[in-house]
Chain A
Amino acid sequence: MRQSRDFTKIIRDPKFLMSIILILLNVFFAIYSDSYFSIENIFNMLKQSSMIIIVASAATILMMTGNFDLSTGSNLAMTGVIYAIQLSAGMPLWPAAIIAVLCGSMIGVVNGVLVSKMEFPPFIATLGTMYVGRGLALIFADGTPVRGEKIPLGIATLARGEFLGIPIPIFFIVVIVAVFMVVEKKSVFGKYSMAIGGNKNAAFFSGINAGGVVFWNYLIVAVLAAFAGILTSSRLASGDPRIGVGFEFDVILAILLGGTSLKGGKGSVIGTLIGALIVAVLGNGLDMLNILTFWQSILKGLIFVFAIIINEKILKNIGKDKLVTAKN
């Protein structure tokens, strides 16, 4: 009895289905592509998807409060451009990066104020900052990627460097996912975020400052989006104002695949990691099979919709039926 309940609990957890999909995709590509299953390719894949994973980890906690952020892609581009401009003007790497991240986090401050203090719907607030951020990136960069003789070679270390034979972005993934797993599971902040999304009134009556928690969530997401902008800039060794279009939706897709609810109240960072990996594996594997990239978009969409259908309509009900019969 106890065992079967635990079992249904596992099946009903969206992470269960996503893990299976991830494994199946890996098996499929390993069989059909000679070059897929190599350390080099897997490192490469993780490097490519590190920005999404980093931002999505933070945005998972945000989405647990029932909010989301559409401005992360613009933020990433704007921060990258600001970073590259400073470097091309001769600023050293570290201070340039810090100033760029501070600029990017301003987008989070605006989002946070609009949503938590002025009670704008998150869609409206972050759609606005998405357009403004993109516009600023284009203006700062004068419409073309910022390159320049003065940009030091060291810019590439962050995204392309290695430590102990492992690419540096992978360390970032591990550290940031771990940090946000702790935030989600062990911290007061994570629990309050979940409570706010689960039942705003309960949070209020428990004396939780919902506005403050949501504000900090937006700020944290913006800081990580800005950091992802630095990483992108490092990868390209330039600042491209047109990069990261649609990035915000890849982030949201990864989070939703991982079983976090758009309405908030539940979610998991490890699920988001699995979701992001599914998207990454799919893109990389299809590349390896030389399939046109347009198909990747279709497959992403299909897997997304079917995964949600299977989870919401089938797996959840399996568990419920069993619980009812057990009662009778």
Chain B
Amino acid sequence: MDPKNTDPLMSIKGLRKEFPGTLAINNVSFDIRRNTIHCLIGENGSGKSTMIKILTGAMERTGGEIFFEGMPFQPKTIKEAMARGITALYQELNVVDDLSVEENLTLGRENQRFGMILKHADLSSLIANLKSLDESIKLTDRVGDLSVAQRQVVEIAKAISTDCKMLIMDEPTASLSEEETKRMFKVIRKLKSKGITIIYISHKLSEVFEIGDDVSVLRDGEMIGSRVVAEIRNETSCNSESEACLELVKMMLGKVVLEEYVSSGNERTEKILEARNIGTKKLRDVSFELYKGEILGFYGLVGAGKTEVAQVLYGMDPYTGEILFKDKPMKIKNVAWALRAGITLIPEERRIAGIFGQLSIRANVPIMRMRKVMKNGVINRNKENQLADGFIKNMSLATTSREKVVGFLSGGNQQKVVIAKCLNRESDILLMDEPTRGIDVGAKQEIHDIIRELANKGKGVIVFSSELPEIMQLCDRIVLMYEGSVRTVLKNGGNLDSDRVMALVAGGEVTA
């Protein structure tokens, strides 16, 4: 063999990416071997997306070196990276629905004369490429009529028709059915057999073992380790995939420092919410109960289905199965129904879905129940002021005035405004999706205290979080999700340790 071929296709050395105030990628080094499927995994915020953006030229690094085919590689634009043979397949598909497959494949590279498109030019290589990946797609099909998986294949065919050496795939199976996923794996293997190197980003660890040659784990912007998949499998000795997955989960999550869980001591007597066999596109057979005064936690790796459960309960997604409120069955058709039933969601994306950033604290707080600040059919300023002042005091919201525009508050204080806005609705059930994402430690603790106080006042609180310490510190019971279904429900306290939780969310068997 040519010795050059044993060199890595890409060598990343000491890569850094700084944003004002944060270090997104810190001293990351690893190699990507030629003609392999290299999986890149890590939880949200681990730096995967930044990594892709640097490799595809969408973003420039602030330090370190990258070598591609032995040559320095520093693309300034996406086009420059494509010219070197690096293309990415994004989750939002870059195909034009109303054009045919052929038109999509030739887009930007038409055979033309005087601005007119010449039909029946040489399409043989295009057809060959497409046929080798998926027999069922015809060049004349309208792309909008194809399935998501087929559209991905069209995009892949387009990518490889431009002398692609490395294809970066960002969660290509995220919206595919099981059947389609299998077919996608076939396509990926075919790409490998054509000599293309693939960087495969996924949240499904089982996929790493199904198609990965190598796997690299990122956590908090640092490279935790790069391993050969077969070696991990050998080390864990037995054929148990879940044990091998656990190895990766431990790398992804790192050492979990736990603060002690203090039981609220509330008796679980009055059941206020019950979900029976909830199913959606991404969820299978999800059942759980919520009691008055309880903090219930939902935990699982990214993509396990936490957010989807919140969306169902808040009427955002259609579902099958049954939801009971205080033992009465009720179909949640939309957000208004959920609110009327007594459910309020404190959304994950604070800035996008939580606050009205250009309005003051006073104007934000009453919005979910204006009636409380109305008098004689119009909004009463005094009542508004009282309401806002009450929340500012109770939540120790750090602001100079109730008139301060919410967009200018710190993250933690913004989150308090969101919570105040939702509490004003006076629902019995509160859903909190990532309640402390991106806020500092002190504010985090304060928000945890607020959540405990709510439970003590008799609310049922469900916390959806991807931070294991938060879940283990706060929640009375923990629902563990794995690939869209409930793995088990654990009671917090006593001998529960983080290793056991990690093993379960990695797909391990439930043992007593």
**Cβ of A187 and Cβ of B115 under 8 Å apart?**
yes
**Contact string, A187-231, partner B, CB cutoff 8 A, digits 1/0?**
111010011001101111111100000000000000000000000
**Cβ of B117 and Cβ of A188 under 8 Å apart?**
yes
**Cβ of A203 and Cβ of B96 under 8 Å apart?**
yes
Residue of A nearest to B96 (CB): A198
| A199 touching B94 in the complex, CB below 8 Å, given contacts A188-B112, A191-B107, A208-B107 | yes
Please, how many angstroms separate the alpha-carbon atoms of A198 and B143 in the complex? Answer: 11
B97 to chain A, nearest CB (A): 6
**Chain B positions within 8 Å of A313 at CB level:** none
**Cβ of B92 and Cβ of A188 under 8 Å apart?**
no
B441 at interface by CB-CB < 8 Å: no
Please, how many angstroms separate the alpha-carbon atoms of A202 and B107 in the complex? Answer: 9
**Cβ of A202 and Cβ of B96 under 8 Å apart?**
yes
Residue of B nearest to A201 (CB): B94
Q: Which of B249-302 contact A (CB under 8 A)?
A: none
| A206 touching B107 in the complex, CB below 8 Å, given contacts A195-B99, A199-B94 | yes
**Chain A positions within 8 Å of B93 at CB level:** 199, 202
**Chain A positions within 8 Å of B158 at CB level:** 206
| Most chain A CB inside 10 Å of its own CB: which residue of B78, B94, B108 | B108
**Cβ of B95 and Cβ of A202 under 8 Å apart?**
yes
**Cβ of B78 and Cβ of A188 under 8 Å apart?**
no
What's the tally of chain A residues with a CB closer than 8 Å to chain B?
20
**Chain A positions within 8 Å of B90 at CB level:** 201
A266 at interface by CB-CB < 8 Å: yes
Q: Which of B119-162 contact A (CB under 8 A)?
A: 158
**Chain B positions within 8 Å of A189 at CB level:** 115
Please, how many angstroms separate the alpha-carbon atoms of A205 and B159 in the complex? Answer: 10
| A198 touching B99 in the complex, CB below 8 Å, given contacts A191-B110, A206-B107, A208-B107 | yes
**Chain A positions within 8 Å of B92 at CB level:** 201
The secondary-structure label for the interface of chain B is loop
**Chain A positions within 8 Å of B78 at CB level:** 204-205
A2 at interface by CB-CB < 8 Å: no
Residue of B nearest to A202 (CB): B94
| A191 touching B99 in the complex, CB below 8 Å, given contacts A202-B94, A202-B107 | yes
Residue of A nearest to B142 (CB): A9
**Contact string, B59-102, partner A, CB cutoff 8 A, digits 1/0?**
00000000000000000001100100000001011111111000
**Cβ of A265 and Cβ of B98 under 8 Å apart?**
yes
Please, how many angstroms separate the alpha-carbon atoms of A186 and B113 in the complex? Answer: 11
**Contact string, A242-267, partner B, CB cutoff 8 A, digits 1/0?**
00000000000000000000000110
| A206 touching B116 in the complex, CB below 8 Å, given contacts A191-B99, A194-B96, A266-B98 | no
B262 to chain A, nearest CB (A): 49
| A195 touching B112 in the complex, CB below 8 Å, given contacts A187-B117, A202-B107 | no
Q: Which residues of A contact B (CB under 8 A)?
A: 182, 186-189, 191, 194-195, 198-199, 201-208, 265-266
- 16 extra interchain contacts, Cβ-Cβ under 8 A, other than A201-B94, A206-B158, A207-B79? A188-B112, A188-B116, A191-B107, A199-B93, A199-B94, A199-B97, A201-B90, A202-B96, A203-B107, A203-B108, A204-B78, A206-B108, A206-B109, A207-B108, A207-B109, A266-B98
